[in-house]
Structure 1
Amino acid sequence: MAVDALDRAMGALIGGALGDALGMPTQLLSPARIAELYGHIEDFVAPAADHPVSKGLPAGAITDDTEQALLLGRILISSGGRFDHARWVNALLDWERDVKARGSYDLLGPSTKRAIDAINSGVPAEEAGRSGDTNGAAMRIAPVGIMIPPEPLDALVAKVAETCRATHNTSIAIASAAAVAAAVSLGVSGGDWRAASGHAVAAARLGAALGHWVTGGDIAARILWAQELVRGKPEKEAIRLIVDLIGTGVASQESVPAAFAVLEVADGDAWRAAVISANLGGDTDTIGAIAAGMAGACSGVSRLPQDRIARLKGIHLAEVRTLTDDLVAARAAKAGSGEEVAR
């Protein structure tokens, strides 16, 4: 069981990286523009020279989705029993400076960018995230799902909310991140992607009661609707429904249900989820990171395409393995003690 949990936990992080890297060159592009440039994305490609945010990155490069997930994982481990909010904010600020130095500031999501700018201007961290309703929290939340057991669910959701406070302290963002974390957590425990989707809906309902309330469609209801919308449909038709009806923008109520719809269409296959996401248009890297990360948690890294993993850029697999070991060890300790976290 310990070996299986490690395999699935690694699958969540590496699956997310695959989805992120495959969607990197197509993010912000329309489906028509993707088809014009690449035909149909089936493997890593370099972005166009005039890409608005990804220009200059090599094929297979990860983006902020994966970098922030790994950063959050490291802060979770270094925080010990209670999430170190100040350390997380400082880590985000350091990371932002590094991103700027690399010339990639525009890769930051709108809510994270706005919150970091506010913190830099002196706004208290607990206030900076009160308007963050986009998908940045959901895209990086997988380490919480790895570290925290799926039950008690309210403890898992509370930890999610705590990590959202500085940048995404809203009902919609917390519900979205809680859904993804719950799916990953159940996957690491041995659940398949269908059971993980059900656990995600329950977590989204709990998360919607936390943070600052903002307007928008109910995340739990939209996940259920999105998966039902594409269930049993041919892939081409399902993609059209995701693009036209669910939406693929950075808004949580679009991209997170879209990721669960992709999981449905891919039948839980992580690489297939990454491929579908990369061709949607819109926030392709984040939808791919979420969908393929959840699928990877439910299958394990051993069932992901090893040749594609070897071609990822900007990620050190040995470091990810070490982080995974630490997160799973912390999970085992919490499960063994019956500890409820973030209370």
Structure 2
Amino acid sequence: MNDTHPDLLDRALGAFYGLALGDALGMPTQVMARSEVVRVYGTLTGFEPAGQDNPVSAGMPAGSVTDDTDQAVIVGRLLIEGGGHIDPLRFSQELLSWEKEMKAKGSFDLLGPSTKAALDAVAGGASLDEAGRTGTTNGSAMRVTPVGIAFAARPLDTFLDRVVESCQVTHDTTVGIAGAAAVAAAVSTGVAGGSLDDVFEAAVTAARAGSQRGHWIAGADVAARITWARELVRGLPEAEALDQVCALIGTSVATQESVPAAFAVLALTEGDPWRAALMAANLGGDSDTIGAIAGAIAGSVRGLAAIPADALQTLRTVNGLELEDLTRQLLTHR
């Protein structure tokens, strides 16, 4: 498409800013147990600064985004630079440069375990085709939203080729690709005008197909767990639902936990981006990534207008975040 339909742009911006929203709201509670979140915050109702004892986000002011947003922006920029494709060598260089910059600022919010291991392997002489063969954590899912913005989810094989390009260097596994495919397809379907039911269907279909790509890894089926997670929380009061998500689905960095957890949050909040992002923040665990995924998908369904204006202003002011131009450029590939 050459001209951007207003509704399409609104949903695409909703996805990108929804990612940042969930990331920033979840920033202070990441790596905290849910019981600790309740003890410290009661129920989180808005942006909070990180506690000084948080081993990852200590010192970060309220409204700060983390690696989820930063790396999604890198993916978006590389898609534009590459004419819709991501060059794996450039991607690895960009990720290493990002971490170097974070270290220089004194940040503890660095590369995740799968990404770090893959890039260390590349630095040690491993080929780009082999570096990501053990990556199963949620790094590929947390940063894949720009792929969903840029490309239609159909035909699925072509769409999965674009998803795999964003995964290959660090998460070239059945589990890593399945998680990223679920998120990207959900975002793409939302941006195209899909309902929450459409988004779930697209996510499950794409995760199932994505699990046939990459190096096989023993792990629970992402598609099956997304379907199960939605049913698990159906009709439950919020506090009980959050406890069930922590106890049974899991909130760790494992793709097969955090991606289904994000979809459970989506189901519980009926796709409202602000509520979804807040609910994820109250989970603890990998709350910033769960929030980023849930916020991106919810934003794609409800659009930018569903994100409170004061929250958007906070994201822009605290982080210097301006995603409009990048989002418009991504949409030119649809």
Fold similarity call, TM over 0.5: yes
Which deviates more from structure 2 when the two are superposed, residues 147-156 or residues 80-89? Answer: 80-89
Q: Which amino acid aligns with 1:114?
A: A
Correspondences of 1:290-329 after superposition (within 5 Å): 290-312=293-315, 315-318=319-322, 320-329=323-332
Offset from partner CA, 1:179-212 (integer Å, 9 cap, x none): 0000000001001122111100000011000000
Picking from 281, 285, 292, the partner of 1:282 is: 285
Corresponding residue of 1:138: 141
Correspondences of 1:1-343 after superposition (within 5 Å): 2-312=5-315, 315-318=319-322, 320-331=323-334
Offset from partner CA, 1:253-304 (integer Å, 9 cap, x none): 1000000000000111011001110111210000000001100011111121
Q: Is the 8 A contact 1:135 1:256 kept in 2?
A: yes
Corresponding residue of 1:338: none
Q: Is the 8 A contact 1:30 1:282 kept in 2?
A: yes
Alpha-carbon deviation of 1:153?
1.4
Distance in 2 separating the partners of 1:124 and 1:102: 30
Distance in 2 separating the partners of 1:82 and 1:200: 22
Distance in 1 separating the partners of 2:7 and 2:324: 14
Offset from partner CA, 1:61-91 (integer Å, 9 cap, x none): 0000000001100001100144322221221
Q: Is the 8 A contact 1:25 1:48 kept in 2?
A: yes
Alpha-carbon deviation of 1:121?
2.5
For the aligned residues, what is the CA RMSD? Answer: 1.3
Which deviates more from structure 2 when the two are superposed, residues 227-236 or residues 138-147? Answer: 227-236
Which deviates more from structure 2 when the two are superposed, residues 125-134 or residues 180-189? Answer: 125-134
Alpha-carbon deviation of 1:126?
1.9
Distance in 2 separating the partners of 1:51 and 1:89: 28
Alpha-carbon deviation of 1:103?
2.0
Which deviates more from structure 2 when the two are superposed, residues 34-43 or residues 306-315? Answer: 306-315
SS at match of 2:332: helix
Alpha-carbon deviation of 1:38?
1.2
Using the size of structure 1 for normalisation, the TM-score is 0.93
Offset from partner CA, 1:129-181 (integer Å, 9 cap, x none): 11000000000000000001121112111210121010001000100000000
Q: Which amino acid aligns with 1:85?
A: P
Alpha-carbon deviation of 1:216?
0.6
Distance in 1 separating the partners of 2:318 and 2:221: 35
Q: Which runs of 5+ in 1 are unaligned?
A: 332-343
Q: Across the two proteins, how many residue pairs are aligned to each other?
A: 330
